[in-house]
Structure 1
């Protein structure tokens, strides 16, 4: 059985704004049905939902760091998108993440511990929970599927003020490659993207402040990416044509960091 090119059921985690919103819109414009997940930003998630082309979309909420809530999110998404509570999803995009500053030289130890635990719980364990849950449903249904993880350039370049973010994103890349090997016999392809700096509501002040020029200068193109540019790559990795890209970590950083 081949993965369809359109009309798929897609769960996008952390889709209330920013890149998650752009990814949800890209799949909806492709003719897919999208479950928009959010943690706490209910109003912004509703705005994302209202902006989607087509019909059959849904909102789902829950803290993905909690294994029981993660399971509920997947079950509600599958049911809302027409697969039934025990049905399969065609595509999972693991986008939900936290990225809170904690420079090692100045962050108090108690805060350091708390922030590391939060980053690991959401960025890594939440991704692992959703991946296992969605893959399990695909395998039970005997259907092919796609899992696309949102990683980061910071996994390779380093994140001096956000080391837990860089470390957990490196772990997400490694998790994706392990899953790619393990799930290929079931027709499930798994890939990751590693974006550099891109414009979102969260970083807008940095792109208008004193560091704006140096941020844009990281790329020889002299600009940062748009969320839509990243979303288009995610859409391709989730397509029927991208099976042979399983296991890849796709750099999307405008030549701002070149891996060897």
Structure 2
């Protein structure tokens, strides 16, 4: 298929949580396509600067903001729009992820640990993405040129996470948010989709994969391995393309057949 002029032209793309892992891979994929990328970060300025330095092309920018604070979303959207000369794509990737330090199985957690985990995860994973989607949508609607929002959800939203129920619930909410916004924004030519990755070999997960549970984690997939950030980035890049407009509202599994559902 011959690319359309819209596909060839550079776009302004805001990727949240782009300091490392999936976010970094997504930023690199869009930049390799020729897009201008706003690399969002909260605390990890050194890692964000390394991502920025590795992006091919020019016109990229750093954008900082704590998305757990409701008022930050507008500021982040405005920074990105100004720095890139306009926005066409938002990738909601920033998240408070599961770890041994924030596990909160209901049968073993204190009420204080339980509420802290819920507040931290919902604040970024769901509310942060919701508020930023609102802010970016205002720019996209005003520009009257369409666009795309892609949410990075999780397999855990579909199968449950007993040690991290707040994480699973926040990602399930993100999937549902995307489907609601897909309906609202379709009249403006804006697609909204989500990806639901399984276990991904990011730097944060390296110790777990190298530990005694690594083999069992790899065996979750019939491919006998875990996914890579680049594989998630490829899915995000496709969903943000004009060719994927008719997929608006979808939640795309990117889990190597490790979890199947109707």
Question: Structure 2 length as normaliser, TM-score?
Answer: 0.95
- Distance in 2 (CA, whole Å) between partners of 1:51 and 1:257 is 34
Secondary structure of 1:92 counterpart: strand
Structure 2: unaligned runs, 5 residues or longer: none
Q: Counterpart in 2 of 1:224?
A: 226
Q: Counterpart in 1 of 2:36?
A: 33
Over aligned residues, Cα RMSD in angstroms?
Answer: 1.0
Residues 6 and 218 of structure 1, relative CA distance in 2, 3 Å threshold: farther
User: Offset at 1:160?
Assistant: 1.0
- Distance in 2 (CA, whole Å) between partners of 1:169 and 1:120 is 9
Given that 1:6 and 1:30 are in contact with CA atoms closer than 8 Å, whether structure 2 keeps it comes out as no
Q: Counterpart in 2 of 1:80?
A: 83
- Distance in 1 (CA, whole Å) between partners of 2:137 and 2:81 is 12
Given that 1:3 and 1:144 are in contact with CA atoms closer than 8 Å, whether structure 2 keeps it comes out as no
- Distance in 2 (CA, whole Å) between partners of 1:94 and 1:5 is 23
Q: Counterpart in 2 of 1:167?
A: 169
Secondary structure of 1:202 counterpart: helix
Q: Counterpart in 2 of 1:95?
A: 93
Secondary structure of 1:194 counterpart: strand
- Distance in 1 (CA, whole Å) between partners of 2:217 and 2:6 is 39
User: Offset at 1:67?
Assistant: 2.1
Determine if the alignment matches structure 1 residue 149 to structure 2 residue 151.
yes
Question: Structure 1 length as normaliser, TM-score?
Answer: 0.96
Given that 1:5 and 1:240 are in contact with CA atoms closer than 8 Å, whether structure 2 keeps it comes out as no
Q: Counterpart in 2 of 1:86?
A: none
After superposing the two structures, state which structure 1 stretch, 156-165 or 62-71, moved more. Answer: 62-71
Q: Deviations over 1:129-175 (max 9, x none)?
A: 11111111111121200000000000111111111000000000000
